[in-house]
Amino acid sequence: MAEWQSPSRRRFKLDPLWLAGPGIFYLVLLLIVPAAGLMFLSFRDSSGSLSFETYRQMFGAGIYVQVLINTFSIAMQTTIACLLVGYPLAYWLAKMPEKRRRLVMWLVLLPFWMSALLKNFAWMVLLSRRGVLSQILTGMGIGGPVDLLYGRGVVVFAMAHTMLPLAALTMLPTLLSIDLGLARAAKTLGASGGQAFWRIVFPLSMPGVAAAGLLVFISSLGFFITPALLGSPRETVIGQLLITQVQQLLNWQLAGAIAVMLLVVTLAVCLVYDRAFGISAVSGERSDRRSTGLFARIGTVVIASAARVTDILAGVLDVVPGLRRRGWLLDAFCVLVMAMLLVPVLIFLPMAFGSSSFLEFPPRGYSLRWFETYWNSSNWTGATMRSFGIAIVSALLASAMGGIAAFGVARSKSRIGNVAFLLFMLPMIIPNIVIAVALFYLFAQIGLIATDAGIALGHTLTALPVVFVIILTTFKNYDWRLDQAAATLGATRMGTVRKVTWPIVKGSVVAAFLFGFLHSFEELTIALFVGGGVRQTLPKQMWDDVLLQVSPTLAAASVIILAVVTVVFVAAERARPR
């Protein structure tokens, strides 16, 4: 038989990864280049030659060192608190029947998307001298007006409150992927409830716990809202330092040095994590690695002792009447935690409808006067309009770039796909404050400070990972054989996209857009730096007002933010396919 030549029509096939090109270009241009430039600056003195003067300054001056210590210890304490409270919550959610979990998840997801500013503002109102708690305590005759604000305790408490949904939601996928039948199997093999939990469920859930710890810790490092609003000067953190040093004094060297340090710590934490679990476990993927060595041996001992302690504790509790069946303890605890997540915010909102000229609870009379103040203030309405505009533009940009990149990464067979994935996750891993300062540095040189475009470009950058991950998950779960089937049934390339692919992924693209919108709508840090005090977004306007004085107008603005967030969040959740 004759040799048949290969078809002449064959052409060089580009790996779909090229679709990630625009997004990667954007990330390099707006994040990697300016951040690198900033870090580079920190190793120079004012004449431009190599020097470690900045670092000597930073580690030499007592106040800087104190700020560093504050930042790290607050971040650590917040992380521990989040894990201790978040784990039972995630476990509780994972054990629920699927239908009920979907409902309850709303109550965790809503606080997750609620702006951090709002949550902290709520605590500020509730815990102040004239706040609800103080009034209750006074009413009960426990001393005069108490000031619960301004201390390490309240800072860690409120920060953990802010980050708790993040922790629980990060742990949940891992817990869900654990076959709870395994614990049952352990019991048939003779393990007590405690033994089964500590020896089977707990070790299997470690990747999720570590991922949650990692994300909370990193986010806490650059977080300044809580310490600024609820802390005393003794709780000053890096974020606040950067705001004064960069915004007011343009001390680029110091900014660079701090950026270097935060990045080094972040990187170190990520590396340790990667060592132990493999970085892909952050997104709930199971790695098949089994850790060995010192960590593993310590872990075994810890788990064995924890199991023993639980058994002893269980033995003691068994004797107490009413505690023989104690499943309700977890229920009670978790209901309480969920109430804590939502109630503080919901309870201070009615104050916006009060008629007196300061915030009080319960309000003595009701009026809409503060909404009128809001409505008649061009500052507030202008900021609101600007926030809407910027959020729409950045969500569009992020969805376009992140969407096609997600498609490319999902379809790519190339190994570089993993690198691209990490690159797109960078804005989530690098502390927000570093991104904001780097953007400030870049935009100062090209005249984008105090422009709406600058803020929108910045928000696009930080919205990218959110949008990217949502769409990537969709494309990864997409059954590409459907496209093949459509082709064999006679559909053209365009026809397949229009009639099959798009209708199936549409929901999650819309959801990604809406979550991108939410992200920008609530973003404060970048708006603070890039807005230059001129282009006020809604969160920035709130921030400035909060620092000046707590007024009922703020509560009115909060109501409006919360209404927008809730509506957009509900729309996004409904759009998202299950």
Tell me which residues touch another protein (CB under 8 A).
1-7, 9-10, 479, 481-482, 484-492, 495, 499-500, 503-504
Residue 213 identity (one-letter amino acid): G
Q: How far is the CB of 280 from another protein (least distance, A)?
A: 25
Q: How far is the CB of 511 from another protein (least distance, A)?
A: 16
Which CB atom, from 244 or from 492, has the smaller least distance to another protein? 492
Which CB atom, from 7 or from 181, has the smaller least distance to another protein? 7
Q: How far is the CB of 470 from another protein (least distance, A)?
A: 19
Which CB atom, from 485 or from 547, has the smaller least distance to another protein? 485
Q: How far is the CB of 506 from another protein (least distance, A)?
A: 9
Q: How far is the CB of 5 from another protein (least distance, A)?
A: 6
Q: How far is the CB of 498 from another protein (least distance, A)?
A: 11
Q: How far is the CB of 549 from another protein (least distance, A)?
A: 53
CA angle (31, 34, 36) in 5-degree steps: 95
Residue in this structure with the two tokens 């089977």, named with its chain if needed: 200
Q: How far is the CB of 572 from another protein (least distance, A)?
A: 19
Q: How far is the CB of 4 from another protein (least distance, A)?
A: 4
Which CB atom, from 505 or from 557, has the smaller least distance to another protein? 505
Which CB atom, from 1 or from 294, has the smaller least distance to another protein? 1
Which helix (H) or strand (E) is 113 found in, with range?
helix 98-113
Ramachandran sector of residue 362 (left: φ over 0; alpha: ψ -120 to 50; beta: rest): beta
- Judge whether 404 and 19 are in contact, CB under 8 Å: yes
Of 139, 132, 546, nearest in space to 360 by CA: 132
Number of other CB atoms surrounding residue 7 within 10 Å? 6
Which CB atom, from 1 or from 140, has the smaller least distance to another protein? 1
* DSSP one-letter code for 430: S
* DSSP one-letter code for 320: S
Burial 72-100 (b: 16+ CB within 10 A, else e): bebbebbbebbbebbbebbbbbbeeeeee
Distance CA 262, CA 264 (A): 5
Please, how many CA atoms are within 13 Å of residue 377, restricted to the half-sphere of its CB? 17
Residue in this structure with the two tokens 């703020």, named with its chain if needed: 554
Which CB atom, from 494 or from 534, has the smaller least distance to another protein? 494
Which CB atom, from 152 or from 411, has the smaller least distance to another protein? 411
The set of residues, in sequence order, having a beta carbon less than 8 Å from that of 365 and lying 6+ positions away, is 354, 355, 356
- Which residues on neighbouring strands pair with residue 366, listed in sequence order? 354
Which CB atom, from 492 or from 566, has the smaller least distance to another protein? 492
The set of residues, in sequence order, having a beta carbon less than 8 Å from that of 330 and lying 6+ positions away, is 88, 91, 92
- Judge whether 104 and 186 are in contact, CB under 8 Å: no
Q: How far is the CB of 517 from another protein (least distance, A)?
A: 25
Which CB atom, from 364 or from 413, has the smaller least distance to another protein? 413
The set of residues, in sequence order, having a beta carbon less than 8 Å from that of 98 and lying 6+ positions away, is none
Residue 163 has which token pair?
């980050």
The set of residues, in sequence order, having a beta carbon less than 8 Å from that of 155 and lying 6+ positions away, is 74, 226, 227, 230, 231, 235
Which CB atom, from 338 or from 486, has the smaller least distance to another protein? 486
Q: How far is the CB of 166 from another protein (least distance, A)?
A: 32
End-to-end CA distance of the chain: 54
Distance CA 443, CA 13 (A): 38
Which CB atom, from 180 or from 500, has the smaller least distance to another protein? 500
Q: How far is the CB of 472 from another protein (least distance, A)?
A: 19
Q: Which 3 state secondary structure label does DSSP give 366? A: strand
